[in-house]
Amino acid sequence: MDNIIELNNVVFDYSDENDNPVTVLNGITLNIERGSFTAVLGHNGSGKSTMAKLFNALEHPSSGTVIVNGMDTADQKYEFDIRKTVGIVFQNPDNQIVASIVEEDVAFGPENLGIEPKEIRKRVDEALKAVDMYEYRDHAPFKLSGGQKQRIAIAGILAMQPECIVLDEPTAMLDPKGRREVIETVKRLNKEKGMTVVLITHFMDEAAIADRVVVMDDGKFILDGTPVEVFGHVKELKEVGLDVPQPTELVGLLKDGGIDIETDIIDVDGCVNALMKALNLEEK
């Protein structure tokens, strides 16, 4: 198996202002496979954002190791190459846009890498086309919607041509339309361009499109598997303050009520089919 990111028994703790130790990550081990789409679920304070920052050497573990493409993030000399390999998109689009023109912002990363102007032009155009924002290339970012700004932030990372893109709650500040735009873009990057994606979120329906879902609580992983496997654990999810997707919850409740119905459902279409089967209706 080819892993792009490996976390080995990682602990992350710090002392708060009263010198009390606070443990954010409590000995986690995780492998992210190249080309995979992993969703990390967890409520606020579960340690998921801290984990994201470990992925590209913005933070370093207190103990344990983080290995990106065979490079240890603790080693200062790999910092540049690690950040070239793993790019992070953050929650607030306003706070990660550097320039006042869209294409200049997308060019910021490649400019830092010291790439030839002609090649930067090519990368910027490609990145903007990949997120469907090419026609806005000479606009001012502050006039765009939240979803559009977040897609520009994604393009800014894509222009550096990383192998893996980590998104830390990219839709938390967006309206439903913006959320859809961003999630569609992320899905396309994984399916069409084969990019490794780690999506950190607390929205169940966003996690449902991933190949693998990891659930975090209190600095530990409590569930790990395909969306169908993970969402089957309704009770465990509810215990850590997370919901299951509505279709999953519905079939779960029907089953509990004594109705013979399939329970490995994560989306509306699957739920409709299961209901029709249970009601002995044929699909039209």
User: C-beta of 87: minimal distance to another protein in Å?
Assistant: 6
| Residue 157 or 216 having the CB closest to another protein | 157
108 belongs to the binding site for another protein (CB under 8 A): yes
Retrieve residue 36's tokens: 């995979």
Kindly tell me which residue out of 19, 95, 235, 282 binds another protein, with binding defined by CB under 8 A. Answer: 95
Footprint (CB under 8 A) of another protein, residues 109-148: 109-117, 120-121, 124, 140, 142
Specify the stretch interacting with another protein by CB under 8 A; choose among 107-115, 192-200, 257-265, 267-275: 107-115
Q: Which is nearer to another protein, 14 or 80 (CB)?
A: 80
Q: Which helix (H) or strand (E) holds 166?
A: strand 164-168
Q: 3-state DSSP call for residue 186?
A: helix
Which phi and psi angles does 261 have, rounded to 5°? -145, 150
Choice between 107 and 204, CB closer to another protein: 107
Minimum distance of another protein from residue 245's CB (angstroms): 30
Among 160, 164, 204, 209, binds another protein (CB under 8 A): 160
Nearer to another protein by Cβ, of 174 and 222: the residue is 174
Site string for another protein, 207-246 (x = CB under 8 A): ----------------------------------------
For residues 59-88, which are near another protein according to CB under 8 A? Answer: 80, 83-84, 87-88
Selection from 105, 54, 62, 61 nearest residue 82 by Cα: 54
Closest to another protein by CB, 114 or 257: 114
**Cβ atoms of residues 24 and 45 within 8 Å:** no
Within 8 A by CB and 6+ apart from 104, the residues are: none
The binder of another protein chosen from 47, 146, 147, 156 (CB under 8 A): 156
Kindly state the smallest distance separating residue 83's Cβ from another protein, in Å.
5
DSSP string across 251-272 = HHHHHHTT--------SHHHHH
Residues in contact with 13: Cβ distance below 8 Å, sequence separation at least 6, in sequence order: 21, 22, 23, 24, 25, 62
CB of 117 or CB of 241, closer to another protein: 117
CA trace torsion 141, 147, 150, 152 (10° rounding): -50
End-to-end, the C-alpha distance of the chain in Å comes to 43
Which CB atom, from 53 or from 277, has the smaller least distance to another protein? 53
112 versus 246: smaller Cβ distance to another protein:
112
What type of residue is 275?
Answer: L
Considering the complex, what minimum distance in angstroms separates the CB of residue 181 from another protein?
A: 20
Cα–Cα distance for residue pair 270/256, rounded to 1 Å = 18
Q: Residue 266's Cα: distance from chain center in Å?
A: 18
Buried-exposed string 117-140: b where 16+ CB fall within 10 A, e elsewhere: eeebeebbeebbebbebbebbebe
Binding positions for another protein, rule: CB under 8 A: 53, 56, 58, 80, 83-84, 87-88, 90, 92, 94-101, 103-104, 107-117, 120-121, 124, 140, 142, 153, 156-157, 160
